[in-house]
Structure 1
């Protein structure tokens, strides 16, 4: 979901903050009629039962922990969760990535913030502005 798999069109944006070396990102993904709602329902279902998953990255194999967060008040529906990957003290502590996923009509926007050894959060005011732009564009057909 966060990487827009199965979308008709998508765009990724990287955010580099002045006071934070870890940064963040957003993805906007457009889906066929009804498909965004189904993808979002699938995400909700996954978050209700998935607490860990195994993966592999440049640092090797890992087991990530998934922790659902409070439901934010954005768009038509929204969820938040944190993925934690233990990296060990020699690498600075745990890798924590906070994710907010918002559906507005047939568009799903995800916002991620990363930190190692601490917590992370994507600025809510930027999410609000993007969701407002999405809603306005869907209502008027104006470009984003």
Structure 2
């Protein structure tokens, strides 16, 4: 039986995928860096010690928007809203930063935060497509990747410290950890580096494999990019169980941060 933690994530992604699929199969009027540390340590540009963090109002315009991602549907992050107020813990204290990112909770003490969600638009069947092709398009429409994007801005060196905590945890927790939320436990079997990401002053990319408790596994992708005293985080999942790294989303958001 899947835990509340798993159900919340999967149901959110499923709802968005079905919504986009309905649009794609309806009328045809539709919506018309630097080096990272994925392969090892790198020299990072330090955030100014006296930097003042941005407020939520100041961060909101810096989030990716629909115009930045025409091949995605960009909207308020329902998953972040659903996670508000929820708490989750890890059986290993050193893994807490990963659990926070996984449950859409900011790491550290940011001065302001802002979130958005970007979901791939399903490919529409070509004009005159056969029934089989249309069915394939329907199946493919469910296999889209949804990415929660978060911005958190910190006073002083808070962004560097939060990034450092996530980087350290991604290595320390390579053998996995257990998340406890709503009195239920979910096992993360492993944490592994993902494809290198270029952008910001320093970047980190990793994936986690979750045991769904019904014989299935789910691979989720995470990217963290620091630009000055602002941290951009990306959490991608797919209802099929295997999410792809959200390169287009990451690139658009990093570009918008300047």
The bucket for the TM-score relative to the shorter chain is 0.7 to 0.9
Structure 1 residue 21: deviation in Å?
5.0
Q: 1:63 and 1:89, CA in 2 relative to 1: closer, same or farther beyond 3 A?
A: closer
Q: Does 1:81 align with 2:206?
A: yes
3-state DSSP class of the match of 2:225?
strand
Once the two structures are superposed, what CA deviation does each residue of 1:12-37 show, in whole Å capped at 9, x if it has no partner? 11223223455221101001121111
Q: 1:127 aligns with which of 250, 253, 256?
A: 250
> What are structure 2's unaligned runs of at least 5 residues?
1-96, 123-142
Structure 2 counterparts to residues 1-144 of structure 1, below 5 A: 2=101, 3-5=105-107, 6-19=109-122, 20=143, 23-51=146-174, 52-57=176-181, 60-64=184-188, 65-89=190-214, 93-135=216-258
TM (norm. structure 1) is 0.79
Aligned CA-pair RMSD: 2.3
Structure 1 residue 117: deviation in Å?
4.6
8 A Cα contact 1:96 1:114, kept in partner: yes
Q: Which residue of 2 aligns with 1:142?
A: none
Which structure has more helix as a fraction of its residues? Answer: 2
CA distance in 1, matches of 2:246, 2:144: 15
Which structure has more strand as a fraction of its residues? Answer: 1
- 4+ residue runs of structure 1 moved beyond 6 angstroms? none
